[in-house]
Chains A and B, each alone.
Chain A
Amino acid sequence: MKKRITMLLAASLAATQLFAVGAMAAGVESKVGVKTRSEDATADYSASEDAPTYVMVSKTLSDPIFIDMYVGFSEYCQEQGFNCMYRGTDEPTAEKEIEVISQLIAQGVDGLAIIAADFDALEPILTQAMGQGIAVVTFDSAANPSSRQVHVEQASIDQVGRAQMNSALEICGGAGAEGTIGILSAQPESQLHADWCAAMLKEVEDKPEDYANIKVLDIAYGDDLPDKSTTEAQAMLQNYPDIDVIISPTTVGILAAAKVIQDMESECRVTGVGLPSEMAPYIENGICYDFYLWNPYDQGYLAAAAVNSIASEESTGAVGDTVTAGRLGEFTVEEYYDGGTQILLGDPIRFTAENIDEYKELF
């Protein structure tokens, strides 16, 4: 009997690998289906044999916002006549990202733009990449200063974090109102999300009078996975029936939270960071009060420009250097709060019922 169970386990082990892929492929399809995006958005572009090759390394291949960033990344490379590729991992873990990066080093690529799955863990492999003359830029989620040459920042973290908390306060009824606010973040390892959450809490700390009657719950982590985010959101609504707002600073989390609220017919509202195409129905039915995002195409475009700027030795990623970025103009490298350097894309866009129609077809 025991043997049979172990045999069964071995078979299911193999089977889960297959099912996981099936489910994932289905997920990608439906996400792409929602949008009016061309089907091969993640395709390689090859200009010529001699042109440099730049690679965007994503921490979750099928995440629609990363695919949007790659569209911008690819746009820059096509304009300038460079080869480009979209690579990454099926799960956001450092181990898998290291493997992908080492394979790219083995292929002798010229530049990497990386969405880091872990702040510290990529240091050894990225140091190695830089040692071999490969330009290393992080964007969206940073790796630590010694493992990158420059970080491309989409919008000031502090500003976006505080704005989300502000929206939550507005939902509760403005300064001094009573309310309970929950935060549903991505993975605890993700530096970007950790920083946003810290900025939100700082906003509460800095304005004690406005937030005097607000209760902020412990941060829940949905790991940027739809099922885990859903479970966490459900738990929040069940454990705190009088919760007023869920802030979710991640596209996966805010969508999951909105769906759960709709299913459970709760009075709770959501705000955070989301994709207009995905969130439009929830803005229309009022579940989503507002949300923030920057233009992911421009973010990917600027990341490509930054990689090229370093690979072509236009800049070294040091403070004061100038980076030329095609249609976006010129950017100056600035100091980043973690001790490294950054290129700042600009201000975030706030999406509400008023402007959602303009953007929902775009990204």
Chain B
Amino acid sequence: MKPMKIKNLFAHWEAFLIVIFLAVNVFFISRTPFYLNYNNLMNSMINFMDKGLMVYGTMMVLMLGEIDISIASIITLSGCVAGWACEQGVPFIGCLVIALAVGALCGAFNGLLLVKFKELNSTIVTLGSQILFRGLAYMLLGDESLKTYAKQLSGLAWNKIAGIPIILAAFIVLTIIFFYVIHRTCFGRRLYAIGTNKTASYFSGIYTDRIKLAVFTINGICAAFAGMFLAAKLASVRASIATGFEMEVIAMAILGGASPSGGKGRVGGVVLGVFTIGLIRYGTGLINVSAETLKIIIGLLLIIVCAVPNLKQVLADIKESRRKSAGLL
């Protein structure tokens, strides 16, 4: 009965992910002595955690069976507006509020479009808003870079509390909050319900539109929040920052078990997804794998990840068709 067991392993996504995660770590630890250094590890978090801070928003969007590819542009626009406001003399706290408000507005804009125009696909809508938001940022700042706002944030980037980078602490707090929201509240259960069957959820009395609007707004706020850490890391904001972030964040969420077809994903898995991709980036950098090769690794990993959960279904289908043809004979 051994083959059954392997199948079960693949069926439990988190278990499979833990195997990948451990394999990645064992591989790097055996290849380079720098990998397990505490300071290096913590500093590597600072490099990939800004994407981790956005992952739960994206995860919730994916749970609904939607996708949002405008998050990178939301980071840029919220950062640029806050940076610009700071130059105009708005106090620092005001700038932070502005950044989050811009993020929420951008997210709500996506959500509203999707709720009001039900025929529209979220890919198309957010593709449009991705270009729109970045365009607005360019209109506001042109080619300038602003430093005042980012300088005041600088502590967020490299400072540590009790040996833990602030950005990692923020990620832990977000993880606890989202774990509670997704797995312990009515709202969370409704997300799974809508993602599994939207029509049925609607007729069982769930306000699907309100929830969709809320999820996209939360996603926008997450992006704006991550944007503060990015601005701190870059010590400046400009209209070209964060390009390409959305793909990596979506990759982390999907690797973590969230599915773009909706109704799937657990916070634990997504945490593993974030660390697996982040540590692969960190480790490959340490053993001097070129950036081009790294793309191949992450691309392949994603394809495998998308294919494996369906393996069981494929096998079952083959068996079924065999049985049918045997029956016919």
Contacts and interface: CB of A to CB of B under 8 A. Distances in A.
Interface of A: 2-3, 5-7, 9-11, 13-18, 20-21, 24-25, 44, 61-62, 85, 87-91, 93-96, 98-100, 102-103, 105-108, 118-121, 123-125, 128, 187-189, 194, 221
B261 interface: yes
B306 A10 contact: yes
Contacts of B212: none
B14 interface: no
For A18, A88, A124, the residue with the greatest tally of chain B CB atoms inside 10 Å of its CB is A124
B40 A106 contact: yes
B46 interface: yes
A98 B231 CA distance: 13
**From DSSP, what is the main secondary structure of chain A's interface residues?**
helix
B47 A7 contact: no
Contact of B121 (A2, A93, A108, A194): A2
Contacts of B121: 2, 5-6
Contacts of B164: none
Given A10-B254, A106-B34, A106-B286, A188 B240 contact: yes
A318 B75 CA distance: 39
Given A17-B247, A123-B235, 16 more contacts: A5-B123, A6-B66, A6-B260, A6-B261, A7-B260, A10-B254, A16-B247, A88-B291, A93-B243, A93-B244, A95-B230, A102-B46, A106-B37, A106-B44, A118-B236, A124-B158
Nearest to B43: A102
B171 interface: no
Contact of A120 (B37, B39, B147, B290): B147
Contact of B235 (A24, A120, A189): A120
A240 B282 CA distance: 48
Interface of B: 34, 37, 39-40, 43-44, 46-47, 65-67, 121-123, 142-143, 145, 147, 154, 157-158, 230, 232-236, 238, 240-244, 247, 250-251, 254, 260-262, 281-282, 285-286, 288, 290-293, 295-296, 298-300, 302-303, 306
A103 B285 contact: yes
A102 B47 CA distance: 8
Contacts of B261: 3, 6-7
A141 to B, nearest CB: 14
A106 B240 contact: no
Contacts of B65: 2-3, 6
A100 B303 CA distance: 26
Q: Which 9 A-B pairs have the closest CB atoms?
A: A17-B299, A188-B143, A103-B285, A14-B302, A121-B234, A106-B40, A90-B291, A6-B260, A18-B299
